[in-house]
């Protein structure tokens, strides 16, 4: 991993042109649009997402833009309301995993010794599993449900943040301004909070942005498998899964899937751009 | 004694020492993995008795007691774990409550399907990713580069389960180009088992028709599974190629008047390969994860489908077995990648 670095100084040109700023802007716009849609969903959705009022399994029409599903619910309204689940839950997930991972990584890096050993070996263990497999096992243990799915993915995704936080702290704790603070008698926690935290926030925010898209994907994936959101919830992954049972009624799964694709792509566009704008040097950790 | 071991250890050739060291670490990881999966299955609030026996049988205390005894559910946790580890050493992974067969037997049957799918998908992803990455690097910042960036970002952004469905709809239902789900058509006998990989076995036994049939069945799921990995490989290839294209010896090769093809494929690609190989190892883990989703859509009888089914039915032994085997595969692949890395790049010494 550490061997994959870009020697941009050698290939010349400014980085700004390299990473296509417009993509970041497009990503941000799409994400903000989806966030707004999520907030005003009840106002803009033409129908109640749970109301079984229309004729069943109707293809897209002027009345029902995305058609209707097997219970006569309006797919367009359900996709709009889906933003109220996928977006905030994925945010909750990356924030929780980010905080847990950063705290553990910071403790490991700052104190070293056996504490470091225990935490980082635990991280290695978790990373020895492909994420969704371990998440599935955890959800199976906790019981299906969207919040349990979030918890499960927090448990499988904290090591990324821990590794990044630890590697930054290992360098930072040797810096003169940190050492002098300690010599002046500041406690460990105080040093970590007031000297180290401000220096690692930027890269970690970028990492959270980069992981956001993945969070949306894995949560909807778990819902698709029936381990996350449960029917009749208008969750995109669960909707795709319901649509799969009515295979020839393509509109039932195509539109919610497109919503996932757009959000994840937007997040990745934004994350990519942020990575270079905020913190060009940390590419190594983050890629 | 320790002294002898230590001096002997350092007299071993570097690569062998490195390999042995990694094997030990890998083995420790595997033990840790059994611990994790065992711990997990213990916090299950859902009662496996209820999940598997059904309401009527679960209300009969005699049946429940028999069931608990049969699967060792009546013992204390450390005892259960110790028993599990002990049997594990004999290659016994317990019995699946769902299929009522030994988990090891189940895994052996399901594993080859996943390995075949992963190999084909990996070949597709590497070929496409390296080609796209080289193109992007050569046409840096011009339209092919921009287009490829969007393609590779789309590749890592598309929900695998959705893409699987859409492809099935388009290529099977609408265009009739794909024969559908499964590994072979209904009624087609599987080739004689040599490796368990249908395409390979069909080739080895010289059955051309069967080979083509197996290939037509695997094409679509492999393509879908390859999408994500292609995105990753493309991006890393581009970065690695940009890096090596900036080297002086590449400039020198150009100045000598060598054709662009030779410069790019011979001089620049070789040092970039090491980075690409490393990424492919990491990407393999994601591929195993993606296999769960792809296999569940295409009814591909692999580890992913098995893991999914056992997770839904809270089949403890099966979950432990399947997560163990997948983690082991992942650890071994990454070990292989590290060694390959040393072989490809002679600058690396262990």
Could you read off the pLDDT of A175-209 as tens digits, one per residue? 888 888 888 888 888 888 888 888 888 888 888 88
* A69 within some domain: no
Closest-CA distance, B29 to chain A, in angstroms, reads: 6
Window B:219-278, CB contacts with A under 8 Å: 236, 239-240, 242-243, 245-246, 274-275, 278
Contact B323 A20 (CB under 8 A): no
Q: Which site among B26, B34, B311 would you substitute to test the A interface, given the most A Cβ atoms closer than 10 Å to its Cβ?
A: B311
Look at residue A9 and tell me whether its pLDDT is greater than 70.
Answer: no
User: Residue A97: helix, strand or coil by DSSP?
Assistant: helix
Which residues does chain A have within 8 Å of residue B45's beta carbon, measured at their own beta carbons? 141-143
Closest-CA distance, A152 to chain B, in angstroms, reads: 11
Angle (CA) B312 B330 B204, round 5°: 95
Structural domains of chain B sorted by starting position, each given as residue range(s) with its CATH number in brackets: 103-344 (1.10.3720.10)
**Which pLDDT does position A3 carry in this prediction?**
43
Contact B293 A124 (CB under 8 A): no
* A242 within some domain: yes
Could you read off the pLDDT of A236-285 as tens digits, one per residue? 999 999 988 888 888 889 999 999 999 999 999 888 888 777 654 444 43
Which residues does chain B have within 8 Å of residue A125's beta carbon, measured at their own beta carbons? 29, 32-33, 36
**Which pLDDT does position A275 carry in this prediction?**
75
Q: Which site among B289, B338, B350 would you substitute to test the A interface, given the most A Cβ atoms closer than 10 Å to its Cβ?
A: B289
Q: Which site among A90, A137, A155, A257 would you substitute to test the B interface, given the most B Cβ atoms closer than 10 Å to its Cβ?
A: A137
Which residues does chain A have within 8 Å of residue B239's beta carbon, measured at their own beta carbons? 4, 6, 287
- B151 CB within 8 Å of a chain A CB: no
Which residues does chain A have within 8 Å of residue B111's beta carbon, measured at their own beta carbons? none
* A51 within some domain: no
**Which pLDDT does position A273 carry in this prediction?**
82
Which residues does chain A have within 8 Å of residue B338's beta carbon, measured at their own beta carbons? none
Tokens of A283: 């590419």
The partner residue sitting opposite B243, judged by closest CB among A6, A125, A143, is: A6
**Which pLDDT does position A287 carry in this prediction?**
37
* pLDDT (tens place) for every residue of chain B, 350 residues total: 667 777 777 777 777 777 787 788 888 888 888 888 777 767 665 566 666 666 667 777 777 777 777 766 677 778 888 877 887 888 887 788 778 888 888 888 888 899 999 999 999 999 999 999 999 998 888 889 989 988 999 999 999 999 999 999 999 888 988 888 888 888 788 888 878 888 888 888 888 888 888 888 999 999 999 999 999 999 889 988 888 888 888 888 888 888 888 888 888 888 888 878 888 887 887 888 889 899 999 999 999 999 888 888 877 778 778 888 888 888 888 878 877 776 776 665 55
Contact B166 A257 (CB under 8 A): yes
CATH of the domain at A109: 1.10.3720.10
The partner residue sitting opposite B37, judged by closest CB among A4, A137, A287, is: A137
Orientation of helix B303-312 relative to helix A131-142, angle to 10°: 20
Distance CA B280, CA B52 (A): 40
* pTM > 0.90: yes or no: no
Average pLDDT of the segment spanning A120-142? 85
**Which pLDDT does position B158 carry in this prediction?**
94
Closest-CA distance, B42 to chain A, in angstroms, reads: 8
The partner residue sitting opposite A128, judged by closest CB among B33, B243, B290, is: B33
Which residues does chain A have within 8 Å of residue B51's beta carbon, measured at their own beta carbons? none
**Which pLDDT does position A10 carry in this prediction?**
41
Which residue range is the domain that position A234 belongs to? 16-41+89-286
Which string of DSSP letters, residue by residue, matches A119-186?
Answer: HHHHHHHHHTS-HHHHHHHHHHHH-SSHHHHHHHHHHHHHHHHHHHHHHHHHHHTTSHHHHHHHHTT-
**Which pLDDT does position B49 carry in this prediction?**
66
* A73 within some domain: no
ipTM tops 0.90? no
* A163 within some domain: yes
Which residues does chain A have within 8 Å of residue B316's beta carbon, measured at their own beta carbons? none
The partner residue sitting opposite A133, judged by closest CB among B32, B245, B292, is: B292
* A78 within some domain: no
- A250 CB within 8 Å of a chain B CB: yes
- B296 CB within 8 Å of a chain A CB: yes
- A58 CB within 8 Å of a chain B CB: no
Closest-CA distance, B240 to chain A, in angstroms, reads: 7
Least confident piece of the model among A24-33, A230-239, B65-74: B65-74
* A53 within some domain: no
Which residue shows structure tokens 């797919």?
Answer: A75
Overall domain count for chain A: 1
Q: Residue A286: which pLDDT band, with cuts at 50, 70 and 90?
A: very low
Window A:60-119, CB contacts with B under 8 Å: none
The partner residue sitting opposite B307, judged by closest CB among A20, A124, A136, is: A136
Contact B322 A141 (CB under 8 A): no
């Amino acid at each position: 991993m550490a061997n994959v670095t870009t020697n941009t100084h050698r290939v010349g040109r400014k980085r700004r042109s390299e990473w296509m700023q417009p993509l970041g802007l497009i990503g941000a716009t799409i994400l903000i649009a989806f966030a707004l849609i999520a907030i005003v969903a009840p106002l803009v959705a033409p129908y109640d997402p749970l109301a079984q009022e229309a004729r069943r399994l109707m293809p897209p029409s002027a009345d029902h833009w995305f058609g209707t599903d097997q219970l006569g619910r309006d797919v367009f309204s359900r996709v709009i309301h889906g933003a109220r689940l996928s977006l905030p839950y994925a945010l909750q997930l990356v924030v929780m995993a980010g905080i847990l991972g950063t705290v553990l990584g910071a403790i490991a890096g700052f104190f070293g010794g056996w504490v470091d050993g225990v935490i980082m070996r635990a991280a290695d263990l978790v990373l020895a599993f492909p994420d969704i497999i371990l998440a599935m096992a955890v959800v199976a243990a906790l019981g299906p449900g969207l919040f349990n799915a979030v918890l499960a993915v927090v448990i499988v995704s904290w090591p990324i943040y821990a590794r990044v936080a630890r590697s930054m702290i290992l360098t930072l704790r040797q810096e003169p301004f940190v050492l002098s603070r300690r010599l002046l008698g500041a406690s460990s926690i105080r040093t970590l909070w007031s000297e180290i935290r401000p220096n690692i926030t930027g890269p970690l925010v970028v990492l959270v942005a980069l992981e956001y898209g993945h969070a949306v994907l894995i949560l909807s994936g778990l819902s698709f498998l029936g381990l996350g959101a449960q029917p009749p919830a208008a969750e995109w992954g669960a909707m795709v899964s319901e649509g799969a049972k009515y295979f020839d009624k393509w509109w039932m799964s195509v539109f919610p899937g497109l919503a996932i694709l757009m959000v994840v792509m937007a997040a990745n566009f934004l994350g990519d751009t942020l990575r270079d704008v905020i913190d060009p040097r940390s590419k190594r950790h983050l890629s | 004694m320790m002294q002898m071991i230590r001096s002997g250890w350092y007299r071993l050739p570097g690569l062998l020492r490195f390999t042995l060291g990694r094997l030990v670490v890998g083995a420790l990881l595997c033990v840790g993995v059994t611990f994790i999966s065992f711990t997990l299955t213990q916090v299950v609030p859902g009662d496996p008795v209820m999940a598997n026996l059904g309401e009527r049988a679960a209300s009969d205390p005699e049946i429940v007691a028999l069931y608990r005894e049969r699967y060792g559910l009546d013992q204390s946790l450390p005892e259960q774990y110790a028993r599990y580890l002990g049997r594990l050493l004999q290659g016994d992974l317990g019995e699946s409550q769902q299929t009522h067969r030994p988990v090891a037997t189940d895994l052996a049957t399901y594993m080859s399907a996943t390995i075949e799918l992963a190999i084909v998908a990996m070949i597709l992803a590497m070929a496409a990713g390296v080609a796209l990455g080289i193109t992007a690097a050569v046409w840096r910042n011009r339209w092919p580069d921009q287009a490829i960036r969007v393609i590779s970002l789309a590749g890592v952004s598309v929900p695998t389960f959705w893409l699987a469905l859409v492809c099935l709809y388009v290529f099977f239902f609408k265009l009739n180009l794909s024969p559908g789900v499964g590994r072979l058509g209904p009624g087609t006998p599987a080739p004689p088992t040599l490796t368990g990989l249908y395409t390979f076995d069909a080739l080895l036994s010289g059955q051309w028709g069967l080979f083509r049939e197996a290939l037509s069945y695997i094409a679509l799921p492999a393509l879908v599974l390859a999408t994500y990995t292609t995105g990753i490989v493309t991006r890393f290839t581009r970065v690695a190629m940009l890096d090596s294209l900036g080297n002086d010896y590449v400039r020198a090769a150009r100045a000598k008047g060598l054709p662009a093809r030779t410069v790019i494929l011979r001089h620049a690609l070789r040092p970039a390969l090491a980075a690409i190989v490393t990424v492919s190892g990491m990407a393999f883990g994601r591929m195993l994860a993606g296999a769960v989703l792809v296999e569940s859509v295409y009814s591909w009888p692999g580890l992913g489908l098995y893991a999914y089914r056992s997770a839904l039915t809270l089949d403890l032994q099966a979950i432990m077995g399947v997560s163990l085997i997948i983690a082991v595969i992942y650890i071994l692949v990454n070990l292989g990648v590290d060694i390959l890395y040393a072989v490809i790049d002679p600058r690396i010494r262990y």
